[in-house]
Structure 1
């Protein structure tokens, strides 16, 4: 239970409420021990005196205890519910915050469905454990000990008979828990894989349908479900043995006690009322024992869930502010790479000893074949990843010494994939500056060549874009991401100018928006378009992670090397079309 115990630190904020809940629970449990004794008195009085009035008094006493016990039980359950809901709320918030602060490298390797599973099914498992399992442990212990004391007080011999099967129940429980733990952990991991595939297929349903791969995906999902079902059946086999065994041993204890008690009544060493009361206390004694199985199941589920949560919550935030990190203040926009080597995996570098300098207000175009390291270069500037060797500097400051919020406020990023969120157009443009005025939002949209199409919508800037902005065209989404970056008014702009998925007119508008955005800023752009290349002050060509060539468009053409080859195969047609 070492992972579950780590969750207990979140309970510190609820110490007062926990004490209150435990008080209600103790009172409720102690009240529950009284009815068998009252029933004993009722039966013995009725058989000995035959007095209806005395029996009625015992009945009234039982009714009063039942009412008071119900009130305290209701208060205890409500108090426990507030603790559990608060606990899950705190853990879910902590998990969400951690996920958002984890580096790009973590998200590159972690399926979205896995994270969704952590936020949903694992939270449910913890809620069940803390709400219905852990909350009842104190009551179960008090009930067990109280019932045992009452049995001993009536007849220590009877108590020994009642306890005869307890060691076997304990051994059965321990044996089963050793089998259940790994099974629950494997089942949860497989459920995460099923969730991940569902999320991936739902997100890419257009691709699935476009390539008529529905049946292929159904078969893939069927395999995942088969594995999930196999694991469920393994669990069922354990329960098939475990639960009946627990029931048999519990009932055996009851049979032994009633047999011994019945003999004692016949011989006169025990009254009929005591036998009836002992049956009630035996049920209280076996109730917690029968609950042990359910508690073990809940505990194993919670431990598996807590281990999964720990994998995320305790994952190191490799990209984080240093204690002495600084704010950038006024930024000139100078970028410098000093002997930078970088790889997404240890020992597998995609950039090798790269050094370059981008002057303030200069536009640098980055070119190269697929896998040459272009994206890695622009990812290092806003510190999406940390270098393995060397330094990346902005205005002479190592980016690792700058507060992330300050760094990314001054470095605007336009990704190749245009990602929008559910909400209005205005909310999406103002994502990086929620306090922006309508005038500022419209100015940014005009710079991005987006104002015209936005105003054509009936609701204008208050138009809802739908999930991931799917109600907009690809070009419209791209221009909105440019507007989002422009609203930050960054001194440094990094982007990918790929526009292959749009028509010629939209491509022209996007190109104009990018050129407008680069004006008066330091810009680093992965160049695919001839217009970007020609407007760049300088071009670097990467080859297998090394800067192979550097210069202007004309200089590199004259050199006749890598750039000339790229130009002839990719850019010359654009020159002719222009």
Structure 2
């Protein structure tokens, strides 16, 4: 079956190759996340270490924001330590006040500024300090959270989405042939957010963990080296468990993203195909299909949650087990008088609890890291994809093209095996209208897609004004080509904006002139708001003929040298077809025009007609010449006009 072009854009549902050559925005630069756009054959490295390095490079673009967040978090860690130290001091002071003989209380360095105060007043003052530092810590936590949220959402997620979307718009159609639309939508939306999780849920928490370890361990060693060593004896076991858990869950998250792709694809098809689903009363079947995939996603996520749920309590138990060690060995140190109760054991236990909370979070860090790596791999697969169709470094950018088009022994295959086109050769002089006709699957749309370089020929070359298309600047080439499809997408915007889609800065006079040439102004001015009338999604509030004429006006506004018409009257009635053909007759005047159609009424006025069969040109000539020959063209005319005489078929 012939590949039907154009395809629908994944994000705005427009015809993607039309959108692709009109929207040619440079990719955002910066950071090691950018891929090398070359035709290198070396496969990218997507190992965990390589992904981690690339993600680190992405974070490097926001190093100043990271530094600010970490400084605030360091303040939180220090304030936590200060609050614990004050609490320990208060406990020791109370113990000393009740029984001075049994206490080895030593006044801390900050007590001299409280001389002559009663014990109760000192406790109140210490409590006030603890409250002050708690409020300050709360405020710093809030600032850190807001800074992290803004950096993640406003900067990382938004920028990454733009990069992935932009790269997709510049990739060739082979990429879209190989990837389902649900998967691509997921990579722009869900996977981009998943990559950002590495920043706000893995990297920053991991650095905070390291900061906490450094600050808390330094103070714990200051209190008691032996107690610190004993309390951290289970750390190697935690590391082993975390590493093993990561290896177990990584394949599960890969599978989870694949299932989410299927879910998004099913939902997208159900929305876009709502009319077909309702027309054939298949709502129950589609609901059952969506429900089955939804249940599969849910069941698989539950399996992951079950694994995480088993791992997390084990980590928490091991960290809590450390508290038992502290109370046992630390209690003995207190009894022996080697460690104060409040400023020693109580503060140490509090620090260990804080440390245990951070270490227990390793389970979540490992879990989130695996999700981020899977998402990162899927995002980088897009960003690393080499641009198959792009301009050469020193590409020619001719300002004026006459429109002399030539195919020289062109062959083409989508997969490298089965040829869609074989040894196609023809010429089109400036101002000529060349028609192509053939059965479905004969290669008509494929041939048309080679002219604006949506694909490059496998063999041979396509030339314009003697230049191989591969030697021309891609943007300059496509700016001189106008396209009208069988079904043209219209945006939910004003009629004027839709006509000016490829030339947004066009004046109203130019828009109006294009509409007049397309025979569209009469119906436009009859609408309530004229050119400012808002078109519904995909032009649902317009007839097929009206949508097509707006599309013709959109192509004319570009003032193209070459006009490509891909079966523009296939889906309209005879009366509308006549109106559209009249519009196209005006639009094609003075331009090299390539028309694809299986309607004799549309193609018969072409200067030359080529008949395609299984990717080869099997007949060529004018309408009168072809209808007088035995062959495919004459068969087409008999099918469409009946067994009429040769004279009747030849009449315009």
Which of these residues, 316, 335, 349, is aligned with residue 247 of structure 1? 316
Taking a change above 3 Å as real, the CA distance of residues 504 and 556 of structure 1, as seen in their structure-2 partners, is closer
Taking a change above 3 Å as real, the CA distance of residues 571 and 431 of structure 1, as seen in their structure-2 partners, is farther
The alignment status of 1:189 with 2:258, answered yes or no, reads yes
1:52-89 CA-to-partner distances (Å, cap 9, x unmatched) read 23323322332333344344434433333333231222
Taking a change above 3 Å as real, the CA distance of residues 259 and 305 of structure 1, as seen in their structure-2 partners, is same
1:109-140 CA-to-partner distances (Å, cap 9, x unmatched) read 33332222122222332333312332222221
Matching residue of 2:383: 313
The alignment status of 1:42 with 2:112, answered yes or no, reads no
Which of these residues, 77, 86, 93, is aligned with residue 29 of structure 1? 77
Paired residues for 1:393-472 under 5 Å: 393-472=463-542
* Structure 1 residue 509 displacement after superposition: 1.1
The alignment status of 1:83 with 2:131, answered yes or no, reads no
Q: In the alignment, is the contact (CA less than 8 A) between 1:254 and 1:282 conserved in 2?
A: yes
Structure 1 range deviating more: 65-74 or 442-451: 65-74
Structure 1 range deviating more: 25-34 or 62-71: 62-71
Q: In the alignment, is the contact (CA less than 8 A) between 1:122 and 1:306 conserved in 2?
A: yes
Matching residue of 1:141: 210
State the alpha-carbon separation in 1 of the partners of residues 163 and 536 from structure 2: 27
* Structure 1 residue 334 displacement after superposition: 0.6
Aligned with 2:454: secondary structure? coil
State the alpha-carbon separation in 2 of the partners of residues 571 and 52 from structure 1: 109
Which of these residues, 34, 57, 64, is aligned with residue 9 of structure 1? 57
State the alpha-carbon separation in 2 of the partners of residues 235 and 435 from structure 1: 52
Aligned with 1:338: secondary structure? strand
Unaligned segments of structure 2, at least 5 residues: 1-47, 99-118
Matching residue of 1:167: 236
Q: In the alignment, is the contact (CA less than 8 A) between 1:498 and 1:529 conserved in 2?
A: no
Taking a change above 3 Å as real, the CA distance of residues 525 and 73 of structure 1, as seen in their structure-2 partners, is same
Matching residue of 1:121: 190
Q: In the alignment, is the contact (CA less than 8 A) between 2:570 and 2:597 conserved in 1?
A: no
Taking a change above 3 Å as real, the CA distance of residues 239 and 9 of structure 1, as seen in their structure-2 partners, is closer
Paired residues for 1:557-572 under 5 Å: 557-572=627-642
1:467-525 CA-to-partner distances (Å, cap 9, x unmatched) read 22222222211111111101111111111234243233222211211222122111110
* Structure 1 residue 411 displacement after superposition: 1.1
Paired residues for 1:291-370 under 5 Å: 291-370=361-440
Q: In the alignment, is the contact (CA less than 8 A) between 1:332 and 1:395 conserved in 2?
A: yes
State the alpha-carbon separation in 2 of the partners of residues 345 and 109 from structure 1: 10
State the alpha-carbon separation in 2 of the partners of residues 518 and 470 from structure 1: 27
Which of these residues, 356, 365, 386, is aligned with residue 456 of structure 2? 386
Which of these residues, 600, 614, 618, is aligned with residue 530 of structure 1? 600
State the alpha-carbon separation in 1 of the partners of residues 540 and 244 from structure 2: 53
State the alpha-carbon separation in 2 of the partners of residues 78 and 220 from structure 1: 41
* Structure 1 residue 263 displacement after superposition: 3.5
Q: In the alignment, is the contact (CA less than 8 A) between 2:167 and 2:382 conserved in 1?
A: yes
State the alpha-carbon separation in 2 of the partners of residues 238 and 416 from structure 1: 52
Q: In the alignment, is the contact (CA less than 8 A) between 1:444 and 1:483 conserved in 2?
A: yes
Unaligned segments of structure 1, at least 5 residues: none
1:130-180 CA-to-partner distances (Å, cap 9, x unmatched) read 123322222211212322222222222322331122222222211111111
State the alpha-carbon separation in 2 of the partners of residues 267 and 26 from structure 1: 35
Paired residues for 1:159-308 under 5 Å: 159-273=228-342, 274-308=344-378
State the alpha-carbon separation in 2 of the partners of residues 397 and 431 from structure 1: 28
State the alpha-carbon separation in 1 of the partners of residues 217 and 592 from structure 2: 80
Taking a change above 3 Å as real, the CA distance of residues 352 and 209 of structure 1, as seen in their structure-2 partners, is same
Q: In the alignment, is the contact (CA less than 8 A) between 1:144 and 1:284 conserved in 2?
A: no
Q: In the alignment, is the contact (CA less than 8 A) between 2:55 and 2:198 conserved in 1?
A: no
* Structure 1 residue 7 displacement after superposition: 3.5
State the alpha-carbon separation in 1 of the partners of residues 417 and 592 from structure 2: 32
Structure 1 range deviating more: 295-304 or 211-220: 211-220
The alignment status of 1:19 with 2:89, answered yes or no, reads no
- Higher helix proportion (structure 1 or 2): 1
* Structure 1 residue 4 displacement after superposition: 4.4
* Structure 1 residue 572 displacement after superposition: 4.7
State the alpha-carbon separation in 2 of the partners of residues 94 and 5 from structure 1: 19
Structure 1 range deviating more: 468-477 or 358-367: 468-477
State the alpha-carbon separation in 2 of the partners of residues 403 and 567 from structure 1: 41
- TM-score normalised over the length of structure 1: 0.95
Matching residue of 1:495: 565
Q: In the alignment, is the contact (CA less than 8 A) between 1:141 and 1:288 conserved in 2?
A: no
Q: In the alignment, is the contact (CA less than 8 A) between 1:4 and 1:306 conserved in 2?
A: no
Which runs of at least 4 in structure 1 moved beyond 6 Å after TM superposition? 573-578
Taking a change above 3 Å as real, the CA distance of residues 413 and 573 of structure 1, as seen in their structure-2 partners, is farther
- TM-score normalised over the length of structure 2: 0.85
